[in-house]
Amino acid sequence: MATTTTNRDKQQIIVLGAGYGGLLAALRLAPYARVTLIDPSDHFTERVRQHELVARPAGAALALADLLRGTGVRHIPSRASALDPVGRQVTTDDGQRLGYDRLVYALGSRTAVPMDHTALPDAPGVHPDSVPRVSTGSSEHPLRVYTAESAGALRLRTQSGKGALTVVGGGLTGIELAAELAESRPAWDIRLLTAGPLAAGQSARGRDHVRGALEAQGVRIEEGRKVEDPAGVDADVVVWAASMRPNVGLAADAGLALDPESGRIAVDAALRSITHPEISAVGDAAAAHSPLGAPSAWVVRQRFPPASTRPPPSSPRSTIENRNHCTSAI
Ligand SMILES: Cc1cc2nc3c(=O)[nH]c(=O)nc-3n(C[C@H](O)[C@H](O)[C@H](O)COP(=O)(O)OP(=O)(O)OC[C@H]3O[C@@H](n4cnc5c(N)ncnc54)[C@H](O)[C@@H]3O)c2cc1C
């Protein structure tokens, strides 16, 4: 006898965060569940292109309404402020309480700056239209410390005038920011400080190439320079790219176990929280050790759909879908 699944029978899944992990999970789960996507931004920010915002204003953000049209995914433009795994509820900063059967935690990560930088306009997708200013005593001056998340404000700060600019961090984010700045801000004297070797983790040939390219653009590179705090850096503008921190505050407050080494949510091979299996974590917030080597929306979907809506494992459709899901999620 044929079975039909109505919308009411479907599980309610809340996805927290509309970055790469959250947006993919929401889109892949939508045919099989009622999906609510919570993210304060009305744009999907291409974070891997965020450094480009130091040189040009557009290009790294796509309207969520366009990406979600016709998918059935409901977007709630609010910030999740609390997670209650016992009552299976999410609270948002504008006072909504939303229930779920399953939850996907995809709140990503952000640059960790060893100082209070709450004044930074760092919400992904938010492009400030003026240089942020800070007060010290009776005087007011332009903000001095920036990150990849505040690249739009950095563009405005450096688009006129000249001065000394120091990028702290010799990893890929620091290198990309230094290269964009050197190319687009020839009037600025640009230096890159790094505690270890430049581009650690790359091959010797790769490191040489990066060094040569940056030096050809006029960037001065100083290795073996461990910086504890941007306050101690002698420069007009400091770009901090030395460390990232996973956004796991809500998970930790809710009692989800974190991986002691990485500080990310501890998950099993199917990306389920090891303490709260009804919650899956993906992307930068997850300490993922899946057989695929990276967070996979396909793994999440295998856990959630009602059996009646899932194609049989041997069908060509499921094989193609699984391949697509795997490749697009990695
Ligand atoms: C400049 C730069 C270049 C990079 N280049 C590369 C690269 O070339 N290759 C690569 O593999 N990786 C790169 N990365 C890393 C990559 O961007 C991350 O690994 C990836 O974005 C992680 O995806 P995610 O979905 O976990 O989180 P994110 O993409 O960070 O998305 C998290 C989402 O959660 C939302 N959010 C946060 N808090 C809340 C809340 N309380 N409530 C609701 N929503 C919230 C945010 O608005 C955001 O939309 C780069 C990073 C940077 C900064």
pLDDT, tens digit, for every residue of 136-174? 667 777 788 899 988 988 999 999 889 999 999 999 999
- Residue 38 CA: nearest ligand 1 atom is 43
Tell me, yes or no, whether 138 and 232 share the same domain.
yes
Question: Which residue type, as a one-letter code, is found at position 79?
Answer: R
Structural domain contains residue 126: no
- Comparing 43 with 9, which gets the higher pLDDT? 43
How is residue 21 written in tokens?
């992990």
- Residue 283 CA: nearest ligand 1 atom is 26
- Indicate which residue's Cα is closest to atom 15 of ligand 1: 48
Tell me, yes or no, whether 261 and 230 share the same domain.
no
pLDDT higher than threshold 60 for residue 295: no
Tell me, yes or no, whether 211 and 252 share the same domain.
no
Torsion-angle region of 268 (φ positive above 0: left; ψ -120 to 50: alpha; else: beta)? beta
Residue 240 alpha carbon to ligand 1 centre in Å: 17
Question: Which residue type, as a one-letter code, is found at position 76?
Answer: I
- Indicate which residue's Cα is closest to atom 2 of ligand 1: 48
Q: How far apart are CA 37 and CA 75, in angstroms?
A: 5
Tell me, yes or no, whether 206 and 302 share the same domain.
no
Residue 149 alpha carbon to ligand 1 centre in Å: 10
The pick from 47, 150, 280, 330 for probing ligand 1's pocket by mutation, whose C-beta has the most ligand atoms within 8 angstroms, reads 47
Tell me, yes or no, whether 169 and 316 share the same domain.
no
Residue 283 alpha carbon to ligand 1 centre in Å: 8
- Residue 44 CA: nearest ligand 1 atom is 49
Q: How far is CA 266 from CA 36, 49, 50, 102, 294, in A?
A: 24, 28, 28, 17, 14
Structural domain contains residue 121: no
Tell me, yes or no, whether 28 and 103 share the same domain.
yes
Question: Which residue type, as a one-letter code, is found at position 13?
Answer: I
pLDDT for res 113: 82
Residue 44 alpha carbon to ligand 1 centre in Å: 10
How is residue 108 written in tokens?
């990503």
- Residue 107 CA: nearest ligand 1 atom is 34
CATH of the domain at 229: 3.50.50.60
pLDDT for res 283: 95
Structural domain contains residue 221: yes
Tell me, yes or no, whether 24 and 91 share the same domain.
yes
- Indicate which residue's Cα is closest to atom 19 of ligand 1: 284
DSSP state for residue 138 in the 8-state scheme? T
> Which of 243, 278, 306 represents a domain boundary (last residue)?
243
Q: How far apart are CA 129 and CA 119, in angstroms?
A: 15
- Residue 19 CA: nearest ligand 1 atom is 31
Structural domain contains residue 192: yes
> Which of 216, 243, 270 represents a domain boundary (last residue)?
243
- Residue 303: pLDDT band (50, 70, 90) is low
- Indicate which residue's Cα is closest to atom 18 of ligand 1: 284
Tell me, yes or no, whether 26 and 103 share the same domain.
yes
Cα dihedral 254, 260, 264, 269 sign = negative
Closest to 87 (Cα-Cα) out of 101, 76, 75:
101
Q: How far apart are CA 22 and CA 306, in angstroms?
A: 20
Residue 113 alpha carbon to ligand 1 centre in Å: 16
Structural domain contains residue 30: yes
Residue 237 alpha carbon to ligand 1 centre in Å: 24
Task: Give per-residue pLDDT as tens, 250-266.
Answer: 999 999 999 999 999 99
Enumerate the β-bridge partners of residue 37.
15, 75
Task: Give per-residue pLDDT as tens, 14-31.
Answer: 999 999 999 999 999 999
How would you label 108-131 residue by residue, b for 16+ Cβ within 10 Å and e otherwise?
bbbbebeeebeebbbebbbbbeee
- Indicate which residue's Cα is closest to atom 52 of ligand 1: 48
Tell me, yes or no, whether 104 and 205 share the same domain.
no
Q: How far apart are CA 171 and CA 213, in angstroms?
A: 15
Closest to 9 (Cα-Cα) out of 313, 307, 300:
307
Q: How far apart are CA 239 and CA 147, in angstroms?
A: 5
Using only the alpha carbons of the chain, give its radius of gyration. 22
Domains identified in the chain, total number: 2
Tell me, yes or no, whether 157 and 178 share the same domain.
yes
Average pLDDT over residues 24-42: 97
Q: How far apart are CA 200 and CA 314, in angstroms?
A: 43
Structural domain that includes position 282? 9-40+78-108+247-329
- Indicate which residue's Cα is closest to atom 6 of ligand 1: 48
Cα dihedral 210, 212, 215, 221 sign = positive
- Comparing 326 with 170, which gets the higher pLDDT? 170
- Residue 241 CA: nearest ligand 1 atom is 53
Structural domain contains residue 227: yes
Residue 196's SS3 state is coil
Tell me, yes or no, whether 223 and 145 share the same domain.
yes
Residue 114's SS3 state is coil
- Residue 81 CA: nearest ligand 1 atom is 41
Structural domain contains residue 176: yes
Tell me, yes or no, whether 189 and 235 share the same domain.
yes
Q: How far apart are CA 17 and CA 10, in angstroms?
A: 21
How would you label 220-256 residue by residue, b for 16+ Cβ within 10 Å and e otherwise?
ebeeebebeebeebebbbbbbbbebebbbebbeebeb
> Which of 218, 243, 268 represents a domain boundary (last residue)?
243
Task: Give per-residue pLDDT as tens, 62-108.
Answer: 899 999 999 999 999 999 999 999 999 999 999 999 999 999 999 99
Residue 207 alpha carbon to ligand 1 centre in Å: 25
Q: How far apart are CA 237 and CA 250, in angstroms?
A: 32
pLDDT for res 291: 55
pTM assigned to the model: 0.83
Pocket of ligand 1 (CB under 6 A): 16-22, 38-41, 45, 47-48, 50-51, 79-80, 106-109, 124, 148, 173, 176, 247, 283-285
Residue 292 alpha carbon to ligand 1 centre in Å: 20
Task: Please give the span between the terminal C-alpha atoms of the chain, in angstroms, as a whole number.
Answer: 39
Structural domain contains residue 185: yes
